[in-house]
Structure 1
Amino acid sequence: MTKVINSTSGTVKYRLKDTKARNETSIVLDYSFGRKNRIKFSTGYKVNPKNWDKANQRIRAVSTIKNREKVNSDLQHFSSEFTKSITELEEGQKDDKNILKALLQKIIRGAENSQIELKSFFNYADEFISRKENQSKNIRNVKLSPITVRSYKQTVNRLKDFDKELKYQLDFNKIDLKFYYAFVQHLEQKNYSTNTIGKHIKNLKTILNAATEDGFNTNFKYKHRDFKAVSKESVSIYLTEPEIDALYDVDLSKNKDWELARDIFLVGYYTGQRVSDYNGLNENQIKEFDGIEVIEFNQKKTGKKLYVPMHPRLKELFKVRHNGSPPRELNAPDINEYIKEAGRIAKIDDEIIVEKVTDCKVQNVNVPKYSLIMSHTARRSFCTNAYLAKMPVIDIMAISGHSTEREFYKYIKITPKERAVKISESSFFKN
């Protein structure tokens, strides 16, 4: 098999879809022609990267791969038939991507008189999400969390909202810088944060990369350097212990939704878990080891199993407010909305300076602290307060599930003054 097949119109190469994959990944036919034109088409074969000879573009001689010779022979056949078919086209057809894709469809898929299946962007995006959902449920070696799938869904829903409101008729061929600026402005007007906007752009580019790999997208304007996922360091607050006390003690009995959100938030604070793990805690997760009550968590994001000692305040909260059981589950968006109201009633109202982006302009504004409280604030508050209370970092990480100290220290929110006070209590400064 030759390394590169040259024709009068372009160059055919074979490469792997994901060179860093731990398991098998697709072998892709990559055809470059003209100045910037390119087609990628899946051959239908997969191989583990360690068994792929990149220089010769073939599967290595590995005894465990019984169909190696057939695959290598087919790859040779695909390229030679494709370049031969291109030379037989009329001059104006050699740059027509639909015709070239139809040739590949016929040669590789074996479909006579085949025309490549055309899908709209939204049809492809919905199928992409469905595929990822099935992967997360059915394929053990694909660790795609439900949270990630939900993030993709949110992005596609925001794109559908944009398309409906602006009557943009969004499709692959219209995704360019003009679209990028219009979509970003649309999200800004909906008061989405810079990092949320960046997340949606990042997810969109992931979907477009997949569509390109699968042969449905041939528009590469999304790869422009200005078509980028913007981000900035977000203002991530934590609640101090006195603020947690105020939230715990405030009377919210007149509004049961706020009260429930507050109690769920406190479960998050006293366990140090993510909302996907602490919201909907059930009695079966409460265990007893050597006379000590603990709560068992199987973290949805990481798959880690860990145990958290039952805090006395959680026991009291379950007993007094929920008949001895954990509070029932509440929709995560509702928690974020109601916990702000609970914080307002608890007078957690110190002013915080935040950056707000409007019409691509950044300005500093003062907002009350309670307006920044979210479900994730519970976990960050636990980690920070436990650190300030001199709990060993390794023990905090055993509860929170952080993998490295570097990751942990980036996560907690303490001021330089608080850090200095903690450091001053070490034996070095005592002697």
Structure 2
Amino acid sequence: MASVNFFLRGKIVDKESTIWVRLRDKDIDISVPVPYLTCKPKEWKDGKCRVSSKKMFESDTETINVRLSKLESEIISRYAVDNPEHESKIWLKEVISPSQKSNAENIYSDNVVSFIEKYIEMKRNQISEATLKIANSTKELIARYVLYKKESNKLYKGLFFKDIDNHFRTDFENYCLQDIYQVSTTYKNLKFLKMMCAIAESHDIETHRNVKTWRFEMDKVLRNTPKSVYLTFEELDKIAQTEMPNDYLDNARDWLLISCYTGQRVSDYMRFTSSMIMEDSEGQKYLEFTQIKTGAKMQIPLLNKVQEVLDKRGGEFPRKISDVKFNLYIKDVCRIAGLDEMIYNGKMMVIEREGKKSITRKVFGEYPKYELVTSHIGRKSFASNFYEIIHTTYLLNVTGHTTEKQLLAYINKTDVEKAKSTAKIFTSLGY
């Protein structure tokens, strides 16, 4: 359940300090200042002003504590309705200061596609790469939906925020189903669209009341979706011991092993160099770097399996290769290593449609395991292999996930595999 707390950052006991608010819930933990409320550290205790009668101005009708109490209630109630997933910090600032309008508010259009385009233009350097990606994909999907509507109805002028109601949602979901989108992908786009409606409303653009009631039961949608594959320790040993026919495959194989024993994203491990390796007074080596996606400063132990790859290459990491080539090469690596077990899962394919433009979608079916290997399998393999061996707290330190819930999304063991691993642990303990 979401919680709201207030605190001060100022340390000078007799100087007014801006009050900050912290919102926490599941994967969200954000703090922003409340620019119109201040308190001296010596007058502050347990999230409140100790001087209960204190006001910001003589003319104020409410004390600071009353305003904080009302603000807390407003944040909790708005959070329950808006359920912001993307740009939650922007959302919180807008709740705290609804009277503070952006200088650019009048340049936003009530046309949804135009609004998202302007949002991307203005926020490009302020939002994460992941948010930018979903913004672009949602904009393109909505643009295709609008074109589809215009083709069937010459009077259709476009999609406007006031038109985004429950009828639109049903029609949009049917369109996505017709275009072979997974329900989870459709929900992801609708959730972003819901956030856009909240931002549009903050700029005095008319929106439909229906959108605030939208809920997305992702757990039910994903319950029967096959989980992504991972490489077991036995398969990794098999890959390491298999001779590759070409140097470029040998190079790709070594990067695959590094990824599976460091647990990092391809954007991070493809930047690894020997200069990032540090050694402590006890001789333990670590990799020190900053994660591209999160900005988190990492220091992870250099495992023996990684050191073996470096020793093979004179202490250096393999040659850098592009993500595209890496994804292609490691499929060949795993094929040559004999990882051809048939698995039910999905892979991206180009679908040709008669009289229509071809589309790329994830198609589920029975595929040999090597065809399902991608650059992200290293992170999934690390999490799955070490989950029942290492305490979650330490595992989080390596992967860089902020919560156990995020980590669990990478754990891809079947119930049988989990049972076997659990049995081995009890056996090792003598039970």
TM-score scaled by length of structure 2: 0.60
SS at match of 2:343: strand
SS at match of 2:125: helix
In 2, the alpha carbon distance for the partners of 1:165 and 1:253 equals 49
Using the TM superposition, give the Cα deviation of residue 214 of structure 1 relative to its aligned residue in structure 2, in angstroms.
Answer: 1.8
Indicate conservation of the 8 Å contact 1:354/1:364, yes or no: yes
Q: Does 1:231 align with 2:230?
A: no
> Match for 1:376: what amino acid?
H
Partner residue of 2:189? 200
Indicate conservation of the 8 Å contact 1:201/1:228, yes or no: no
Using the TM superposition, give the Cα deviation of residue 206 of structure 1 relative to its aligned residue in structure 2, in angstroms.
Answer: 1.4
Partner residue of 1:287? 278
In 1, the alpha carbon distance for the partners of 2:264 and 2:186 equals 25
Q: Does 1:347 align with 2:352?
A: no
SS at match of 1:243: helix
Partner residue of 2:129? 146
SS at match of 2:366: strand
Partner residue of 2:32? 23
Using the TM superposition, give the Cα deviation of residue 271 of structure 1 relative to its aligned residue in structure 2, in angstroms.
Answer: 0.6
Indicate conservation of the 8 Å contact 1:240/1:381, yes or no: yes
Partner residue of 1:311? 303
In 2, the alpha carbon distance for the partners of 1:267 and 1:67 equals 64
Distance 1:205 1:404, change over 3 A: closer
Using the TM superposition, give the Cα deviation of residue 350 of structure 1 relative to its aligned residue in structure 2, in angstroms.
Answer: 1.8
In 2, the alpha carbon distance for the partners of 1:288 and 1:217 equals 59
In 1, the alpha carbon distance for the partners of 2:178 and 2:143 equals 16
Indicate conservation of the 8 Å contact 1:23/1:49, yes or no: no
SS at match of 1:231: helix
Indicate conservation of the 8 Å contact 1:19/1:49, yes or no: no
> How do 1:43-62 residues align onto structure 2 when only pairs under 5 Å count?
47=36
In 2, the alpha carbon distance for the partners of 1:236 and 1:49 equals 49
SS at match of 1:374: coil
Indicate conservation of the 8 Å contact 2:110/2:160, yes or no: no
Partner residue of 2:400? 401
> How do 1:15-414 residues align onto structure 2 when only pairs under 5 Å count?
20=23, 22-24=31-33, 47=36, 65=56, 118-136=109-127, 145-164=128-147, 167=150, 169-177=158-166, 179-181=168-170, 183-185=172-174, 187-188=176-177, 191-223=180-212, 225=214, 231-233=221-223, 234=225, 235-249=227-241, 256=248, 262-290=253-281, 291-318=283-310, 324-328=316-320, 330-331=322-323, 335-336=326-327, 339-354=330-345, 365-387=365-387, 390-403=389-402, 408=407, 411-414=410-413
In 1, the alpha carbon distance for the partners of 2:176 and 2:240 equals 35
Using the TM superposition, give the Cα deviation of residue 385 of structure 1 relative to its aligned residue in structure 2, in angstroms.
Answer: 1.7
Indicate conservation of the 8 Å contact 2:290/2:296, yes or no: yes
In 2, the alpha carbon distance for the partners of 1:211 and 1:263 equals 48
Using the TM superposition, give the Cα deviation of residue 239 of structure 1 relative to its aligned residue in structure 2, in angstroms.
Answer: 1.1
Indicate conservation of the 8 Å contact 1:22/1:48, yes or no: no
Report Cα offsets for 1:273-315 as digits up to 9, x if no partner: 2334323334442223233332113234444323222234434
TM-score scaled by length of structure 1: 0.60
| Alignment root-mean-square deviation, CA | 4.6
Report Cα offsets for 1:136-161 as digits up to 9, x if no partner: 4xxxxxxxx43333333333233334
Report Cα offsets for 1:185-206 as digits up to 9, x if no partner: 5545665443333222222221
Using the TM superposition, give the Cα deviation of residue 232 of structure 1 relative to its aligned residue in structure 2, in angstroms.
Answer: 1.0
> Match for 2:276: what amino acid?
Q
Q: Quick one: percent identity of the two aligned structures?
A: 27
Indicate conservation of the 8 Å contact 2:274/2:315, yes or no: no
Deviates more, 1:294-303 or 1:209-218: 294-303
SS at match of 2:376: helix
Distance 1:377 1:423, change over 3 A: same
Indicate conservation of the 8 Å contact 2:228/2:345, yes or no: no
- Kindly tell me the number of residue pairs found equivalent between the two proteins: 331
Using the TM superposition, give the Cα deviation of residue 270 of structure 1 relative to its aligned residue in structure 2, in angstroms.
Answer: 1.4
Q: Gaps (5+ residues) in structure 1?
A: 1-17, 26-45, 51-59, 73-106, 110-114, 137-144
> Match for 1:286: what amino acid?
I
In 2, the alpha carbon distance for the partners of 1:263 and 1:189 equals 42
Report Cα offsets for 1:352-409 as digits up to 9, x if no partner: 23489x9xxxx98433333433333211211222245x34444333212344556645
Partner residue of 1:423? 422
Distance 1:200 1:324, change over 3 A: same
In 2, the alpha carbon distance for the partners of 1:337 and 1:239 equals 17
Distance 1:427 1:285, change over 3 A: same
In 2, the alpha carbon distance for the partners of 1:321 and 1:165 equals 55
In 2, the alpha carbon distance for the partners of 1:189 and 1:228 equals 21
In 2, the alpha carbon distance for the partners of 1:348 and 1:283 equals 31
Distance 1:334 1:221, change over 3 A: farther
In 2, the alpha carbon distance for the partners of 1:342 and 1:196 equals 30
Distance 1:404 1:182, change over 3 A: closer
Larger Rg: 1
